[in-house]
Amino acid sequence: MGTSEIATLGGGCFWCLEAVYDEMQGVVSVESGYMGGNVPNPDYRTVCTGRSGHVEVVQVTFDPAVASYRDILEVFFATHDPTSLDRQGNDSGPQYRSVIFYHDDQQRATAAQLIAELDGELPRPIVTELRPATTFYIAEDYHQEYFRNNPQQPYCAFVVSPKVKKFREKFAARLRHS
């Protein structure tokens, strides 16, 4: 493997995004955590209040020789609703907002370009924020690989599982072969 890159994305509950990217070819690792707030070392309870400013995010480490940053973003836009402000399904609050935390100018430009392309194709305007990456705080251990470890848990069965199924159908060519 060559040099890896990092994408940091918020699009609702981090369990959903983590489960999707765990299955994507070119993804080296996915960590659930928090970014963008004003409270140092936040925990889940603090972030859930919606007042810490943090977003539930996944930090995706990927091999750009296998999956480009644009590939990562195309999956992101296809597996959450980028037109919903501060909400995904029943999860509502600023901690669930749609946001791309870019790590350099190239990522910012790629994300802005894709948003411009997709904006006219969706029924409502895209509300995904583009923000510079700040400190990433890894979430508590029990949030890591949540879907893989708890597939029968009701939220996983009814919310996460359909998103993973959608990814598998829409991006069959990008599935990890393991």
- Active site (catalytic) residues: 13
Alpha carbon 165 to its chain centroid, in Å, reads 16
Question: Bridge partners of 31?
Answer: 59
What's the rounded Cα separation, in Å, for the pair 70 and 85? 23
Tokens of 11: 């699009």
């480009």: which residue's tokens? 68
Question: Bridge partners of 59?
Answer: 8, 31
Closest CA to 44 of 61, 32, 36: 32
| SS3 readout for 99-158 | EEEECCHHHHHHHHHHHHHHHCCCCCCCCCEEEECCCCEECCHHHCCHHHHCCCCHHHHH
